[in-house]
């Protein structure tokens, strides 16, 4: 899939990664509610959004589309890729995107490998690779980090994400 004609900014999004239910056993399940992410992205009027969510559930896709604006969302069906083509396809797709907003997942590493930037939504507590303090992670140069807060949840991080996307496209 290539950038749609006439789209000024094309931003990839993913709101969930890892194996659900594994976090309490030390697994790396990460998630931000898709409706909250959509609300944060809605003010970014010069962009369309490419949903790259694996294992996509209809209700979460609908929640994201409703929040951001249905006409501004395109879906990439990740489960439909032929075997052996996935990595090559993802690399091309990551190169075509202007930006990427996601929880930590494989696509973050692919963008890094291509020398591209992105925006990482990091839940609390943070995985070791994202560190656990203010600022961005030294392991992911060029990625802005937006951290869920213990007491205030995703609100401050999402407000910061919206501001950054509007001020620093």
Confidence band, pLDDT 50/70/90 cuts, at residue 79: low
d(CA 122, CA 132): 10
pLDDT for residue 1: 62
Within 13 Å, how many C-alpha atoms sit on residue 139's CB side? 10
User: What's the pLDDT tens digit per position in 88-121?
Assistant: 888 889 999 999 999 989 899 999 999 999 999 9
Q: How does pLDDT run across 32-50, given as a tens digit for each residue?
A: 999 999 999 999 999 999 9
Q: Are 112 and 140 in contact (CB under 8 A)?
A: yes
Q: What is the DSSP string of 88-154?
A: HHHHHHHHH-SEEEESSSHHHHHHHHTT--EEEEE-SSPPGGG-SSSS--TTSTTEEEEEPBTTTBT
Residues 111, 113, 115, 121, Cα dihedral to 10°: 40
Between 27 and 139, the more confident residue is: 139
Nearest-angstrom CA–CA distance, 62 and 148: 23
User: Which domains does the chain show, CATH number per domain?
Assistant: 9-167 (3.40.50.2000)
Residue-level pLDDT at 167: 92
Whether the predicted pLDDT of 81 surpasses 90: no
Please state, as a whole number, how many other Cβ atoms lie within 10 Å of the Cβ of residue 64: 26
Show the tokens assigned to 119. 């925006």
- Three-state DSSP class for 73? strand
Q: Is pTM, for the whole model, over 0.85? A: yes
Burial of 50 (0-12, 13-18, 19+ CB in 10 A): buried
């Amino acid at each position: 899939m290539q950038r749609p004609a006439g789209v000024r900014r094309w931003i990839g999004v993913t709101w969930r990664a890892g194996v659900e239910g594994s976090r309490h056993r030390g697994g790396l399940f990460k998630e931000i509610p898709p409706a909250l992410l959509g609300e944060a992205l809605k003010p970014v009027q010069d962009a369309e959004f490419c949903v790259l969510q694996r294992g996509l559930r209809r209700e979460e896709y609908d929640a994201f589309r409703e929040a951001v604006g249905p006409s501004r969302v395109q879906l990439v069906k990740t489960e439909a890729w032929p075997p052996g083509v996935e990595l090559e396809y993802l690399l091309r797709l990551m190169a075509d995107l202007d930006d990427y907003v996601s929880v930590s997942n494989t696509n973050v590493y692919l963008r890094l490998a291509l020398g591209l930037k992105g925006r990482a939504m990091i839940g609390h507590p943070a995985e070791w690779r994202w560190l656990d303090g203010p600022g961005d992670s030294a392991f992911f140069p060029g990625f802005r980090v937006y951290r869920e807060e213990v007491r205030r949840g995703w609100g401050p991080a999402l407000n910061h994400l919206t501001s950054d996307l509007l001020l620093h496209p």
